[in-house]
Amino acid sequence: MLLLLVVLLMFINWGLEAVKWQYLMRNIQMVSFGKAFKAIFAGQAFAFNTVNNVGEYFGRMFFLDEGNRLRSISLTMVGSLSQLIVTFVMGIVGLFYMRWFMLDAASIKLHGLSLFWLQGLTVILIAVTIVLLLLYYALAWCIKVVEKIPFVSKYIYLIQKIEELHSKQLTKILLLSFIRYVVFVIQYLLLLNIFSVNGSAISFLWLVCVKFLVLAVIPSIAMAELGLRGEIGVQLFGLLSNNLIGIIFTTVGIWIINRMLPAVIGALLILSVRIFKNR
């Protein structure tokens, strides 16, 4: 039953992303929730073989009108930026939790970490997050500045719709990203429970946030990132549990449910669209 719940949460997770994308797309084209949901899965099919999910922007284009496809990229990037900001903020809180409640100076040294570098990395991440947050809420101003660059002006129609996103809309998008992030974390905690990776739920919660932060920072391809996810999981969750098999199974399970299964569904949707068009 818990495993079925994790799969159900996968659909809720991508459903929230569909709502977010639908909300962003209304600036260029009204899209039904059903169409947005299909577009999200199609994006995952394209993202599966590209670095840091770059391909998802192109996969979603299949479900938009011809004249709006390129213009959708910049708005989709706004949604990705909001998700990245949430990942950074929660990951930084997780790093603070690790440092003050899980690791002392001796254990940091034991795990081959340096207190100086750990604190330095945290400061850098905080600075980057502040810059991203300021940039996020100043997108309209940034577009106005870019419009004045001569060689960019003829392509400005591709990003001009970002100017119409006001602070309330951006905050709503950020909130949807946060709710989606919470769903991600719940999925992970459920799978850790399924595979008997025992420990403090609060500690696991913040370790999951740190893992998401690491995955966001390191460039990777979904098809080849399973080994990386497994190694990060073992290093982090190994601080609380010796059940390495359970940790690896959790990592594989999350990868299959959240990455491979949506990519397969998306590939089938794209195939059905192409077949329908050929008829």
Overall domain count for the chain: 1
- The pLDDT of residue 158 is 78
Model pTM score:
0.89
Weakest-pLDDT range from 17-31, 76-90, 150-164, 243-257: 150-164
- Higher pLDDT pick, 19 / 238: 19
Which domain covers residue 186, as residue numbers? 2-278
pLDDT of residue 106 exceeding 50, the answer is: no
Cβ-defined contacts of 208-212 (< 8 Å, 24+): 208/94, 208/184, 209/90, 209/91, 209/93, 209/94, 209/185, 210/91, 210/94, 210/95, 210/98, 210/236, 211/236, 212/87, 212/90, 212/91, 212/181, 212/184
Angle at 272 between CA 267 and CA 277, to 5 degrees: 130
Share of the chain above pLDDT 90, in %: 47
pLDDT of residue 242 exceeding 80, the answer is: yes
pLDDT of residue 165 exceeding 90, the answer is: no
Weakest-pLDDT range from 16-25, 170-179, 214-223: 214-223
- Higher pLDDT pick, 176 / 116: 176
Digit-coded pLDDT (tens) for 37-58: 999 999 898 887 777 777 788 8
Confidence of residue 110 (pLDDT cuts 50, 70, 90): very low
